[in-house]
């Protein structure tokens, strides 16, 4: 969420950004709704002040009339006050009460209009995108992302290489048919060493992050809608979530939702960045991806993800440096898995609403003959912190909103695609990288059953 002053001053830029990100929002419509909201708010506040003043006047008249009656006591009331004075006070009080009833009706109508206008304003405000960094490439899709670097050698097989499905089934690791029987399309079952490998890559990633100062959290897999709104996944990403039948709860598509919302509504100490990590099951409906990546483990409804989230001071230079840090963490994990990859700068058209600057890491997948996205790093500036109300005290004692960043340290089972395909051998076995062996009982290779 952005500050309204910033939006008013950068309306043209934000409309352009919304158009490039594919978000249907009218910045002009938002500004008009905001002007109407502020006008109504001023009128409501004026009427409330007038009502308070008149309430005091009525109280004074009533108190004066009561005091007159009390002074008169058993004595002739005509002697206590000039004739008719108390009658006039009573009449004035009744007239004021009638005006109060009319004012309350007028105020109720205005408050209803204000609530309706504010709701429309809020709906538009929640759609306004975060502006992108000056070095973000222009473009409309992932085809326009810009390669920054390649690391590792793409394998050249001297034999007919298999894809991850063939390898997984021959190694007794993967059962797609029964996964579909159990849960429908985009489902799978990992078994035996496949299950262990799935957990091993997650634990490797968590261990790397803990060594780098990240605090691990165990988070719920279902969260309230406000947590999704806090982090910018609602309203634009609502169609990607699975809603539970009862209550305002949804299955998470990333633990970023909880890692950021963990501090919602709080003032935190940010002398040093807060580094958090979690390994959670994740769920995505994949609406809009019909016919895309339906083969195997690339795009599935349920997966596991290790996420790293950082909260830092609201300084663009600090958060940009941390973006490099969390990207380097993900690259280290890929080097430990001995996989070739490339890093790309994501273009504006391939970004989500909340993202200011983003790098994707794509790992070589032989069966695709191309690099496939496996990791993503984003700097969100204070977009999420404003929504979630996460602030810190600056050096001069001023309350400011934090910056937040996130990165996929590893996502499985997608990472199993390059892991199996790049490390396959002619005899049908799959080499196990050195870093994974301690998690798999020291085995050097996975061999066919």
What domains does the chain contain, in order, with CATH numbers? 4-125 (1.10.287), 142-446 (3.30.930.10)
Could you check whether the bond before residue 350 is cis, i.e. omega within 30 degrees of 0? Answer: no
User: Closest by alpha carbon to 357, among 146, 198, 66, 204?
Assistant: 146
Q: What is the pLDDT, as a whole number, of residue 190?
A: 98
Q: What is the pLDDT, as a whole number, of residue 428?
A: 95
* CB within 8 Å of 187: residues ≥ 6 apart: 176, 179, 180, 300, 301, 302
Q: What is the pLDDT, as a whole number, of residue 74?
A: 44
Q: What is the pTM of this model?
A: 0.88
Produce one character per residue of 78-111: b if its CB has 16 or more CB atoms within 10 Å, e if not. Answer: eeebeeeebeebeebbeebeeebeebeeebeebe
- What number is the average pLDDT over the span 199-227? 98
Q: What is the pLDDT, as a whole number, of residue 345?
A: 98
Tell me if residue 323 falls in helix, strand or coil.
Answer: helix
**End-to-end distance of the chain based on CA atoms, in angstroms?**
53
Question: 7 is written with which tokens?
Answer: 């939006």
DSSP structure string for 408-437: EEEEETTTHHHHHHHTB-TTS-EEPPGGGG
Q: Is the pLDDT of residue 65 over 80?
A: no
The model's confidence at residue 1, banded by pLDDT at 50, 70 and 90, is confident
Question: Catalytic one among 275, 284, 313, 391?
Answer: 284
Q: 253 exposed, middle or buried (CB, 10 Å; 0-12, 13-18, 19+)?
A: buried
Distance CA 297, CA 306 (A): 17
Q: Is the pLDDT of residue 94 over 80?
A: no
Beta carbons of 327 and 343 less than 8 angstroms apart: yes
* CB within 8 Å of 73: residues ≥ 6 apart: none
Q: Tens of pLDDT along 362-383?
A: 999 999 999 999 999 999 999 9
307 belongs to the catalytic site:
no
User: Closest by alpha carbon to 275, among 323, 214, 329?
Assistant: 214
Question: Catalytic one among 373, 377, 387, 391?
Answer: 373
Question: 40 is written with which tokens?
Answer: 């109504």
Q: Tens of pLDDT along 261-280?
A: 999 999 999 999 999 999 99
Beta carbons of 383 and 2 less than 8 angstroms apart: yes
Distance CA 19, CA 45 (A): 37
Least confident range from 70-74, 77-81, 170-174, 369-373: namely 77-81
Find how far residue 93's CA is from the centre of its chain: 55
- Averaged pLDDT of the chain: 92
Q: Token match 């222009």: residue?
A: 138
Question: Catalytic one among 255, 261, 352, 376?
Answer: 376
What are the angstrom distances between the C-alpha of 392 and each of 229, 267, 386, 401?
A: 21, 5, 12, 6
170 belongs to the catalytic site:
no
414 belongs to the catalytic site:
yes
Distance CA 440, CA 437 (A): 5
Question: Catalytic one among 212, 299, 342, 386?
Answer: 299
Q: Token match 């910045």: residue?
A: 27
């Amino acid at each position: 969420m952005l500050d309204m002053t910033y939006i008013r001053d950068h309306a043209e830029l934000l409309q352009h950004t919304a158009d490039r990100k594919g978000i249907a929002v009218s910045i002009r419509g938002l500004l008009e709704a905001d002007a109407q909201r502020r006008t109504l708010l001023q009128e409501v506040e004026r009427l409330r002040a007038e009502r308070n003043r008149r309430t005091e006047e009525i109280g004074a008249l009533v108190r004066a009339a009561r005091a007159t009656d009390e002074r008169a006591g058993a004595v002739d009331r005509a002697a206590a006050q000039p004739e008719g004075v108390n009658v006039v006070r009573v009449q004035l009080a009744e007239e004021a009460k009638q005006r109060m009833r009319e004012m309350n009706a007028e105020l109720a109508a205005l408050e209803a209009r204000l609530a309706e206008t504010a709701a429309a304003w809020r709906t538009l405000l929640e759609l306004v995108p975060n502006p992108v960094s000056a070095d973000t490439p222009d473009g409309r899709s992932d085809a326009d992302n810009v390669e920054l670097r390649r690391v590792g050698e793409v394998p050249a097989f001297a034999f007919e290489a298999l894809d991850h499905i063939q390898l997984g089934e021959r190694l007794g690791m993967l059962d797609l048919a029964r996964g579909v029987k159990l849960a429908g399309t985009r489902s799978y079952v990992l078994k035996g060493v496949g299950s262990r490998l799935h957990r091993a890559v997650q634990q490797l990633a968590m261990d790397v992050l803990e060594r780098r100062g990240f605090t691990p959290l165990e988070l719920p897999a279902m969260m309230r809608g406000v947590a999704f709104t806090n982090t910018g996944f609602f309203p634009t990403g609502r169609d990607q979530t699975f809603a539970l039948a009862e209550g305002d709860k949804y299955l998470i598509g990333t633990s970023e939702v909880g890692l950021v919302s963990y501090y919602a509504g709080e003032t935190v100490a940010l002398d040093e960045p807060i580094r958090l990590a979690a390994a959670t099951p994740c769920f995505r409906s994949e609406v809009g991806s019909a016919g895309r990546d339906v083969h195997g483990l690339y795009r599935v409804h349920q997966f596991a993800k290790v996420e790293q989230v950082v909260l830092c001071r609201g300084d663009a230079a600090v958060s940009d440096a941390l973006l490099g840090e969390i990207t380097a963490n993900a690259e280290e994990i890929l080097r430990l898995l001995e996989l070739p990859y490339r890093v790309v700068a994501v273009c504006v058209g391939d970004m989500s609403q909340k993202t200011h600057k983003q790098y994707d890491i794509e790992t070589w997948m032989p069966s695709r003959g191309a690099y496939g996205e496996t990791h993503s790093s984003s700097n969100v500036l204070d977009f999420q912190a404003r929504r979630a109300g996460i602030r810190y005290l600056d050096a001069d004692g001023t309350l400011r909103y934090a910056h937040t960043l996130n990165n996929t340290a590893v996502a499985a089972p997608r990472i199993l695609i390059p892991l199996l395909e790049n490390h396959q051998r002619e005899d049908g076995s799959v080499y196990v990288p050195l870093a994974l062996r301690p998690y798999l009982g020291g085995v050097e290779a996975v061999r066919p059953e």
